[in-house]
Amino acid sequence: MKKLINLLFGYLEVLVSGAFPERLLNLCAQHRVRFWHLTWLDETTFTFRIALKDRGRMEELAQRAMCETSVRARRGAGAVAQNLSKRRGFLLGLAVCLGAVCLLSRFLLVVEVVGNETVPTAVILSELQRLGVHPGSYGPGIDEKGTANEALIRLPQLSFMAINIYGTRAVVSVEEAVPAPELLDEQTPADVVADADGIILDMQTSAGRPLVQDGDIVARGDVLIAGAMELYEPEGSPVDQGYLVVHAAGTVTARTWRTLEETVPLTIQEKSYTGAEKKLISLHVLWGQLDFFQNSSIFGGMYDKITRTEYLTLFGRTFPVGLTTTTLREYTLHEQPLPEEQAETQLKQSLLARLEEQLEQGDGTILRTDFVTRKAGGCLSVTLLAECEEQIGRTVEREGETGRIYGRNSGAEDLEDPQS
C-alpha cells in the first residue's frame, strides 16, 4: 500500500555526500522527514528516497549538516505532473485535443440501418438525411422519436422505425410493412373477357354467368364470364325477372399461340482502347468532398469512366471517410461483323425472355416453341412461334350498378345482355 501511495504522489531518489552524512539522517528523523530505501555507497556517500513534497525541507537540513545533495531520479505520477506543468505548450495542445474529442464525440460519424430486407438501405438513409440524420449531425439535437415518426409517414413501406444514438453512432431499427391483400371489388359491375385468342381448357367461375365452356374457341375481346345474371321467371308466370348485375370473377385457362419477332444488324460497333488513361482521386470526409484534380474531361473523344470508392473500416464498422478513384480510359469505335450464329442465339434468348415476361402476368407455361430465321438487307430476323397454356381472363368494367335488377320488358333502364 505504501508503495502505491509513493507512486501516486511521487518521490525522489537523492544522492547525499559529506564528511558526516549520518547527521542528515538524524536531522530528517528529528524533523519527521520520511525516507526509505537507504543504500550506503561508501563511508561518506549514500542514496535514499524521500517524498516529492519533502524536497525543500530535506535540502534545508542538508545545508545544516554540511552535506551536498543531488537528485538522481524523479518517479511517480506527481513527478510526471510536475514536469508537465513546465511544458505549457504541451498542456495547451492536450487541452485542445481533449476538448476536440469531447466536442466531436457529440456528432454522428456512422448511421446504420438494420432490419430491412426489401426496402433499400439507400432509400431509408436518403429520407433520414432530409430530416437531418446523417454523418456530421449534432447527436443531442436530434429528436429521435419525432424524426422516426416523420420518416414513417414518408416511407409507407415501413411499419416501424426507432432511432437510437450511441455516442457517434446512430442505429436505425426498422420493420417493413406487410402489403395488404388485394380485395375483390364487388361494387363495380364487370365482365371477364378474353385477353388473347385460344381454345378453352378449363374454366372456374366464382361470380357471374359463364358464356363459354371447355373446348370452345374464343377470340381476343370475347366475353367469357358475363356480369349480368339472368333471373329465370317461374314456369307459367307472365312476369319477366330480367337480369341481376354483379362483378364477374373467375379464371379461364386456355391454349394460346403467340408470335414474336426481333431484328438485329449483322455489324456492331466495337471499342478499341488507345492506351491513354488517367486516374482522378477524391477524398470524402463526412458530407464534404476534396478533389485532387482540376479537369476531368481529359480526352476529346470517347472514354470509359470506372469509379471505385473505398471507405475506412475499423472493428467491423464503416466510417464516413472514403477515397474515390476514377479511371478514365480513352477508346475509338470501329465496325465489326457479327457472326450469324451468335446473333441468332442472342435473338432467340431475347425472344424467350420476352415470352416468359408476357406469360408471368397470366401465370402461363410454354408448351412448344419454333423459330424461323431469315436474312435480308444486312440484318438478321428471328420469329418465335410459341404454343402456351395461360390464364386469359381479364376483368373489364361495364355499365350499371351491382345488386340491381334490370328488366327486359319493363319501363326501367334496360341492360344489354352479352348474348343478345
Model pLDDT, residue 313: 76
Model pLDDT, residue 120: 92
Model pLDDT, residue 180: 72
DSSP 141: G
Categorize the per-residue pLDDT at 12 as very low, low, confident or very high, splitting at 50, 70 and 90.
Answer: confident
Q: Quick check: helix, strand or coil at residue 354?
A: helix
Model pLDDT, residue 240: 59
CA 216 – CA 149 distance, rounded (Å): 57
- Is CATH 3.40.50.720 the right assignment for the domain spanning 110-176? no
In the chain, CATH 3.30.70.260 covers 2-84
Categorize the per-residue pLDDT at 414 as very low, low, confident or very high, splitting at 50, 70 and 90.
Answer: very low
DSSP 139: G
In the chain, CATH 3.10.20.310 covers 110-176
Whether the pLDDT of residue 235 is over 60: the answer is no
Mean pLDDT, residues 400-416: 54
pLDDT digits (tens, 9 = 90+) for 387-396: 999 999 888 8
pLDDT digits (tens, 9 = 90+) for 241-273: 667 888 888 889 999 998 999 998 988 888 888
Q: Residue type at 223? A: V
Cell of 256: 394460346
Mean pLDDT, residues 48-77: 87
Model pLDDT, residue 409: 47
Strand 379-391, strand 249-265: pairing? antiparallel
Look at domain 2-84 and name its CATH class.
Answer: alpha beta
Indicate if the alpha-carbon torsion angle 187, 192, 195, 200 is positive or negative.
positive
Model pLDDT, residue 219: 92
pTM for the full predicted model? 0.49
Mean pLDDT, residues 51-74: 88
